[in-house]
Amino acid sequence: MPSDCIPFRDTNYFSSLICDYLDQKSELQPFYNRYPELENFEDQIQEKQQSFSNHHREVLVQTLKKQYKEVAILEETKDNIEALEKQNTFTVVTGHQLNLFTGPLYFLYKIISTINLTKTLKEKYPEFNFVPVYWMATEDHDFEEINYFNLFGKKIQWSRKDGGAVGVFNTEGLDKVFDVFSAEIGKGQNAERLKSLFEKAYIKHKNLTEATRYIANELFGEYGLVIIDGNDRELKRLFIPYVEKELVEQVAFSKVLPKAQKLEKAGYKVQVNPREINLFYLADGLRERIVEKEERYFVNETDISWSKSEILKELSEFPERFSPNVMMRPLYQEVILPNLCYIGGGGELAYWLELKDYFESVDIPFPILLLRNSVLIQTKKQAEKIEKLNVSDTELFLKQHELINRKVRQISNIDINFDTQRKHIKEQFVAMYELASHTDVTFLNAVKAQEIKQLKGLDVLENRLLKAQRRKLSDHVKRLTDIQNQLFPNHSLQERNKNFSELYLEYGQELIPELIKNLNPLREEFLIIKD
């Protein structure tokens, strides 16, 4: 598959914060540790190596072996888990929600970016081992964000009662979703493989965590991907000192809020604001915020409460009941993993950029932050249509009305540009302004108003001419509209809407190997793959 790239900024789909980060603007340098350039990983390795203990490695490996006990683990993944006990082994991590049947396409791009970076690091630093890790967001509780996926423009949804951390949700009712999915994708070899994957994941596993682990392992196990569930008693035991510090000293709030305010002062939108306590309490069907009032700790909207000594005792005895929120989850990840780099989307990196001072205050190395690969995939037919329409890669990303107007102007047999006439009007009014300068202000204002009126009149005429040409060239306009709607569903990026199954039906088992071959996580440009 041939491919092209365009700068992220030129797509108009990425925030100024992320574009400025990629440009390494000086005002953002205080918000990160090291920029994701290959040479910077050497110092990151040394810093993490000095801070990460053998005990943490032992607990991590034993936990992963336990979590993989019922999984058909491949040698590549097994070897990577074993390697994590060695002091010269480090991880590259991406995280994602437990979206139904992987959710949007970028689930694949996140993991492939992670896999490919570990390969690149191994080539650069052969004396070390690098393990790609997918962190499952099993403790999230926003079920409405994950209970569906889009297929051929339709929303396939799982309806069930909400409540608590989604990872423990049983898979009851997904047989009905499977029936709808099966009917939509039809028959054929690729369709049957997808049906088998869905059925084995969701019908034959008891909860959402197990189902998601199965899918990710089936898709990426041969590349050595290690899948971790942070909702684990022994892993959370390692995190107790940081949870205690959060409960007693409220460190995240005191360190993150000023950093977020500095970002806002620099003109950037703040992605997430910290709470005074950035922890949830987990119980059956419950994940609610912990709040402090009048020297007591409460679980929001419940009758559960403790004194300071009581909650610290609860933490010591039941660390698994304490769940970090979005502000603390990154710290938890970096405490339990020998991690060098976090790979995420623009929204994720935006809140990571608030956290550097927090990490420094608790003596945990701040990881390198890398924007995941973004991809637009064109089928052979789509690529041929785009070529016939003479649309460039950058033009594809224009707002639809801008794209249509630009192409209509280009192909029209008459000039739909009145700039010459505008210039002529302005020149004619030069003498009028000279005359007006010798009279009173009321005449000067009348001249100004007349100039504005005539220029606006030209704008109206130009727009009417453009609309007339659009009607005349309606067939061309329709073809432009159709192809852009196919590639940008709901006027948004393909990767944020489509599910991988649509592309799998087209490319089958070649889909992931082709993506592995084409995605370069350090290239930092938007990739366009053409069949």
The per-residue pLDDT for range 216-231, each reduced to its tens digit, is 999 999 999 999 999 9
CA-to-CA separations, 396 to 281, 383, 390, in angstroms, rounded: 46, 11, 10
Helix spans in 125-250 (H): 174-185, 189-198, 208-220, 233-238, 240-249
Q: How far apart are CA 164 and CA 288, in angstroms?
A: 8
Q: Report the pLDDT value the prediction gives residue 3, as an integer from 0 to 100.
A: 75
41 and 94 belong to one structural domain: yes
Are both 148 and 176 inside the same structural domain?
yes
Residues 78 and 46 in one domain: yes
**Do residues 446 and 519 share a domain?**
no
Question: Packing angle between helix 400-411 and helix 474-487, nearest 10 degrees?
Answer: 140
Q: What percentage of residues in the chain have a pLDDT greater than 70?
A: 93
C-alpha pair distances (Å), 186 with each of 193, 194, 344, 505, 509: 12, 10, 34, 10, 17
Query: DSSP per residue over 13-44, as a string?
Result: -S-HHHHHHHTT-GGGGGG-SS-S-GGGHHHH
Closest CA to 94 of 448, 86, 507, 102: 102
Strand, helix or coil at 171?
coil
Is the pTM higher than 0.85? The answer reads yes
Judgement on whether residues 365 and 403 belong to the same structural domain of the protein: no
Instruction: Compute the mean pLDDT over every residue in the chain, rounded to the nearest whole number.
Output: 93
In the structure, what pLDDT confidence band is assigned to residue 444 with cuts at 50, 70 and 90?
confident
Structural domain harbouring 479: 390-494
Please indicate, yes or no, if residue 451 is contained in any of the structural domains.
yes
According to the model, what pLDDT value does residue 26 have?
96
358 and 436 together in one domain: no
Confidence of residue 452 (pLDDT cuts 50, 70, 90): confident
Percent of the chain residues topping a pLDDT of 90: 83
Check pLDDT > 90 for residue 416: no
Tell me the C-alpha distance between 59 and 479, whole Å. 58
137 within domain boundaries? yes
DSSP string of 393-462, one letter each residue: HHHHTS-HHHHHHHHHHHH-SS----HHHHHHHHHHHHHHHHHHTTS-HHHHHHHHHHHHHHHHHHHHHH
| Least confident among 63-72, 287-296, 461-470 | 461-470
- Specify whether 132 is located in the same domain as 11: yes
Pairing of strands 526-530, 375-378: parallel
Same domain, 145 and 183: yes
Q: What is the pLDDT of residue 401?
A: 85
> 485 CB contacts (<8 Å, ≥6 apart)?
491
Q: Is residue 210 part of a domain?
A: yes
Q: Is residue 159 part of a domain?
A: yes
Do the beta carbons of residue 365 and residue 44 sit within 8 Å? yes
Is residue 53 domain-shared with residue 200, that is, in the same domain? Answer: yes
pLDDT at 472 over 60: no
The CA-based angle 245-248-252, given to 5 degrees, is 55
CB 256 within 8 A of CB 355: yes
**Does the residue 383 lie in any domain?**
no
- The predicted pLDDT at position 305 comes to 97
Round to whole Å and give the CA distance between 181 and 371: 32
pLDDT of residue 451: 73
Q: Establish if 269 belongs to a structural domain.
A: no
Residue 523 shares a structural domain with residue 424:
no
The pLDDT of 267-281, averaged and rounded, is 96
Model confidence at 471, pLDDT cuts 50, 70, 90, reads low
CB 489 within 8 A of CB 483: no
Q: Which of 50-64, 392-406, 495-509 has the lowest mean pLDDT?
A: 392-406
Distances from the Cα of 342 to the Cα of 3, 65, 110, 312, 333, angstroms = 25, 23, 10, 31, 10
How many domains, the chain? 2
Looking at the fold, whether 359 and 427 belong to one and the same domain comes out as: no
Q: What is the pLDDT of residue 70?
A: 93
> CA 486 to CA 503: how far, in whole Å?
13
Q: Is the pLDDT of residue 138 over 70?
A: yes
At residue 426 the predicted structure's pLDDT band, cuts being 50, 70 and 90, is: confident
Q: Is the pLDDT of residue 419 over 70?
A: no
- 266, pLDDT greater than 70: yes
- My answer on whether 367 and 478 are in the same domain is no
In a domain, 450, yes or no: yes
Mean pLDDT confidence for 344-350: 97
